[in-house]
């Protein structure tokens, strides 16, 4: 994902324990991690590294549009998203994942808190969670600042180049082909022995000499 993630506070993970926390020897199968923003955010992407979490549910607390009293409401954006093909095996247990806006059940706009509900039904793993949580804001594609500066210097396709004063490309191409053909002929007919101008069998032929 391009751009910078949103500044946020990732709170400590809380376990959902059924029964007495002190006496119950069974480990919890659900953990909850809250991510809090300083101001409302329109979310484009949530990325993270998995650590033996089998399923992930994402709920967001967002401000109601048009609400004068600033009321908020919890909504589910992602429900039981599968991170491990089989909760009892290693596949996907330590992979990086990204969940995009287009995959969510509802638009994550004006969000103040993201709640990540992690679930692992298998008793094989002693611990599980998600790490390296990063949340990226929605960036409008039609914004001028999103266009790289070097794109603005490209000559438009429909604008013809100024070729005044330059030789005809067809003539240049034809001349180059002729030069290449002559070079090939000379190389193929060239012998490896060095022959002098008037050298015949190691001596000069008197008939070949001329006086000036």
Q: Residue ranges per domain, the chain?
A: 8-139
* Residues whose CB falls within 8 Å of the CB of residue 125, separated by 6 or more in sequence, listed in order: 52, 93
Question: Given this model, what pLDDT does residue 104 score?
Answer: 95
How far is Cα 185 from Cα 19, in angstroms, rounded to an integer? 94
Question: Given this model, what pLDDT does residue 69 score?
Answer: 72
Q: Which residues, given as ranges, of the chain have pLDDT below 50?
A: 23-24, 142-147, 149-157, 195
Q: What are the angstrom distances between the C-alpha of 123 and each of 31, 52, 198? A: 14, 11, 98
Residue 190: strand, helix, or coil: coil
Question: Given this model, what pLDDT does residue 110 score?
Answer: 94
Kindly report whether the global pTM for this prediction surpasses the value 0.95: no
Residue 176: strand, helix, or coil: helix
Counting DSSP H helices and E strands in the chain, the numbers are 1, 11
Using one digit for the tens of pLDDT, what is the confidence trace for 36-78? 999 999 999 999 999 999 999 999 999 887 766 778 999 999 9
How far is Cα 101 from Cα 46, in angstroms, rounded to an integer? 8
- Maximum pairwise Cα distance, the chain: 124
Question: Given this model, what pLDDT does residue 156 score?
Answer: 46
For domain 8-139, say whether CATH 1.10.3720.10 is its number. Answer: no
């Amino acid at each position: 994902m391009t751009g910078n993630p949103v500044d946020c506070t990732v709170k400590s993970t809380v376990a959902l324990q059924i029964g007495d926390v002190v006496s119950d020897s069974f480990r919890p199968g659900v953990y909850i991690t809250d991510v809090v923003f300083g101001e409302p955010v329109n979310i484009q992407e949530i990325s993270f590294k998995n650590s033996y979490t089998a399923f992930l549910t994402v709920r967001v607390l967002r401000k109601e549009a048009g609400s004068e009293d600033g009321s908020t409401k919890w909504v589910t954006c992602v429900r039981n998203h599968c991170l491990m093909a089989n909760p009892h095996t290693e596949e996907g247990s330590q992979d990086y994942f990204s969940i995009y806006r287009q995959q969510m059940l509802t638009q994550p706009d004006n969000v103040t808190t993201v709640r990540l509900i992690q679930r692992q039904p298998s008793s094989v793993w002693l611990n599980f969670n998600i790490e390296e949580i990063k949340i990226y804001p929605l960036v409008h594609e039609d914004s001028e600042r999103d266009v790289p500066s070097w794109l603005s210097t490209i000559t438009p396709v429909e604008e013809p180049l100024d070729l005044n004063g330059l030789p005809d490309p067809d003539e240049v191409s034809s001349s180059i082909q002729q030069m290449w053909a002559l070079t090939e002929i000379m190389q193929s007919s060239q012998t490896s022995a060095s022959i002098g101008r008037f050298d015949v069998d190691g001596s000069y032929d008197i008939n070949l000499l001329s006086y000036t």
